[in-house]
Structure 1
Amino acid sequence: MDQNYISYGKVAKFLHWTMAILLLLNYFLGLTLEKSSLYNFHKQTGLTILLLAIIRIIWRIIDQYPAPIKSLSMMERSGAKLRHLSLYLFMLSVPLSGILMVNAHGYELSFWGVYTLPTFIEMQSESGGHVFAEIHEILANSMMAIIGIHLLAALKHHLVDKNEVLLRMIPFSRRGK
């Protein structure tokens, strides 16, 4: 795979920023939920995040993307790889734990009213639902911590190191060889 690209492509940038917005929106919605009218919106957005995460992983595999910046130390490169892997795992596990939580409470999930997901857990117990709710919350909080570290690292590269790491993911920045 040719990795001489300066910037990420339009699709990668679109997926990155769309998911960033949806993840932050859904996290803060989740903090305010106690069976509010936005609870269903939170669930639908979570399913959308799961679908976009799958698309994003497939796109990451098939798309050409820039090589790491040469000035990055081995520790910075390793840290970035670990953070990205963690983020992909969280983008899958947080929505999946939400699905399991809803199923354990005895409810079905519909994807924006178009498709009803199969029920993965038939136990329908309050205690099972609470266990998955705790798992969902821990995973979501952990994901936000990693997103915070990701953001701080990008700002450090831009403001302190003055390299192109952040600029490569900014929308409308140029992609070339």
Structure 2
Amino acid sequence: MKTANQTRYSIGAMIFHWLIAILVIVNWRIAESAEHLSDAEKGAVFANHKALGMLILALTLGRIAWRLTHPLPSLPNNYAPWERMLARTTHVVFYVLLIGLPLGGWLATSMFDRPIDFFGMFTIPVLPVGENKDLGGTIFDVHKTAGTIMIYLIGLHILGALKHTFIDKDLGIFRMLPFGGKARQ
């Protein structure tokens, strides 16, 4: 759903965008910080990583529901065809990763027969897949690689927003901010 005269995303879309973005970066930093810890310390750190991943999954599903029920601004007219395709592709890959990373982590954790403690509030049970530590380890390896891809994609996304704002001067970053200049249509 798009509207011809809307230049910004809705406040709800902005809240989902920035909250998920912050949580993804925090979760990546949590995982990175555990690399050189002892096994006991790693377990505690990764418990938070897994819980945060499940929160990101829930918020992403909420964001998709929001996106399907609220109008989107059209891409600015000054975007070149390759920029339009790159913007759309990047967003699709973001959604695939925002859903796939938590589900993959949950699947791999389930293969080690470990439920996920959601910050001490409740337990998310294992998926009914049976124990398979070898496959679970492989899925964790893919999960880590996909997480790295997500971080590079975030960097590309930020560079695109900065390019549109400061080089093209179409104030593109303000499409996802509730304040500041009015983005060009």
Q: In the comparison of the two structures, how many residue pairs are matched?
A: 177
Give the equivalent residue in structure 2 for 1:167.
174
Q: Report the TM-score, using the length of structure 1 for normalisation.
A: 0.91
The one-letter amino acid paired with 1:79 is: L
Gaps of 5+ in 2: none
Classify the secondary structure of the residue corresponding to 1:154: helix
Residues 152 and 174 of structure 1: is their aligned pair in 2 closer, same or farther, counting only changes over 3 Å?
closer
Tell me by how many angstroms 1:16 deviates.
0.5
Cross-structure match for 2:90: 83
1:96 aligned residue? 103
Query: Aligned match of 1:130 in 134, 137, 149?
Result: 137
Determine the structure 2 residue equivalent to 1:153: 160
Normalising by structure 2, we get a TM-score of 0.87
Separation (CA, whole Å) in 2 of partners of 1:132 and 1:29: 19
Does 2:59 align with 1:58?
no
The runs of at least 4 aligned residues of structure 1 exceeding 6 Å deviation read none
Give the share of equivalent positions with the same residue, in percent.
Answer: 30
- By relative contact order (CA 8 Å, sep 6+), the higher-ranking structure is 1
Query: Structure 1 pair 109/36, CA: closer, same or farther in 2 (3 Å)?
Result: closer
In structure 2, C-alpha distance between the alignment counterparts of 1:62 and 1:144, rounded to whole Å? 28
Deviations 1:53-107 (A, max 9, x none): 0011111111112111011111111110000011011100011111011111110
> Which 5+ residue runs of structure 1 have no aligned equivalent?
none
- Residues 3 and 65 of structure 1 are in contact (CA less than 8 Å); yes or no, is this contact kept in structure 2? no
Cross-structure match for 2:15: 14
TM-fit CA distance, 1:38: 2.2
- Maintained 8 Å contact 2:107/2:127: yes
Paired amino acid for 1:58: A
**Which stretch of structure 1 is more off in the superposition, 119-128 or 41-50?**
119-128
In 1, Cα distance between equivalents of 2:122 and 2:178: 32
Determine if contact 1:49/1:95 at 8 Å carries over to the other structure.
Answer: yes
How many angstroms does 1:142 deviate by?
1.0
Residues 113/79 of structure 1: CA separation in 2 closer, same or farther (3 Å cut) = same
Aligned alpha-carbon RMSD (Å)? 2.1
Give the SS at the match of 1:70. coil
State the alpha-carbon separation in 1 of the partners of residues 178 and 137 from structure 2. 40
